[in-house]
Structure 1
Amino acid sequence: MIRVIVVDDQKLMRDGLKTILGLEDNIEVVGTAADGAQALEVAQATRPDLVLMDIRMPGVDGVQGARLIREQLPETKVLMLTTFNDSELILDALEEGASGYLLKDMPTEVIVQAIMTVCAGGIVLPPESTAQVVAEWKRAREHAVQEGRDQLVSAAPPYLEALTEREHDVLQLLGQGMNNKEIGETLVITEGTVKNHVSNIIAKLRLRDRTQAAIYAVRHGIASFS
């Protein structure tokens, strides 16, 4: 049984998700919250496996909420709910430890599968929407540069040159949200070998975990979503 908290500032959305997920045999909604601060309180009291959290909320938003929960309850996974318009927030939430994101209009079965994927240690980065998120983020950065409000991102991603060719291939697939089994099947190598490559990538790029590795690949255009 996967224990879940639903976080959204809109009561209709919050209650709707609670009802829908409660119909699943292997999911139990153990609490709800209206913002990131309340989510932390409920999570501390219930110790859920996963927090399904809206990214844009008044008060403590989903990005801050993800950071608080991942800092204080590292065993609890966070999965974001968002829209196409939140590209910068999506990337920020992933960097704060969220294990992926979903668009709010996705079918129930996709949300349920994503919850299972994340609780099994995977990452959820929907390919088509992630491509659009990255494109929006890049456009925003370019606009900021033109107005002198930001600096250009370095042409050379930090520490990337330390990776072997095979590690680079694994990093690219990580950025597409693949798990170890899927990466192994794509590159025709064992899951154990993939696991070793992922560990080396995380160490060489000086990152915290595979989610940070995935978002590194997304931010620096290493992952391809074509």
Structure 2
Amino acid sequence: MRGDRHVVLGVFSATLLLAPWLGTLDPGFCLSAVAGVFIGSLAPDADAADAAIFRGFSGGRGLFRRLIRHTVLVLPLVGYVIRYGIYYPVSALLWICTLGTIRPQHRGFLHSLPGAFATTGILLLYGALLFGHMGLSLPLHAIVFGAGFFAGAVLHLLADTCTRGGIAWGFPFVPLRLAGSFPGGSRDRRPEILAGLLGGGTVLFLVAAPLGMLPAAVAPAGAACYAAAIWALFLHDTGVHRV
């Protein structure tokens, strides 16, 4: 699946879940979380040299593309840190421990739940070391960013599960692979439909409580259930199955 689709699905999922909380949460935390999701939704593709995380989004039409054109300055930095500071060292360790059985590959370690945990943890460790070098502790906003980054990576895995190539969620410990029928090309508009449903849900839950359509106490759970249902529908529609 293309990088821009991963970003849209990840960010819209995040804004949907955050929508009921926008009146109570610190805006800085919300921005940190969404920024983390934005970058995390591209992070697993750091195992591919031609991935969007290495070049950012510099062209195309539309307001969204114009807003994110500055990612050409930020995303490559994060991408190369992940590729050379996390992916290659961990892949080398796996290669040594398995006597060459497991080699670096696209949709390998980074496209797994252990990989998402490891990438997030090591990035936060690098951040803590950087701030520690300056005599500072890791700020809470960075931890929120890390949580968003992990969520974005998991959403990336969820989307790639729907593709024909699929992913092994438990790699390298569990070889079971899940795949769907989505071809990954631009002609299949199902990701755009999914994004539209997620975006529409964001608007709905932004106004539901203020307009009295839904009690504020149940709005967060409602948003979570709505997001889960929409993603479950997408997984079902793409026929996700064991490979």
The question of a shared fold, defined as TM-score above 0.5 by the shorter chain, is answered with no
Greater helix share, structure number: 2
Using CA pairs under 8 Å that are at least 6 residues apart, name the structure with larger relative contact order, 1 or 2: 2
Structure showing greater Rg: 2
Per the normalisation by structure 2, the TM-score is 0.32
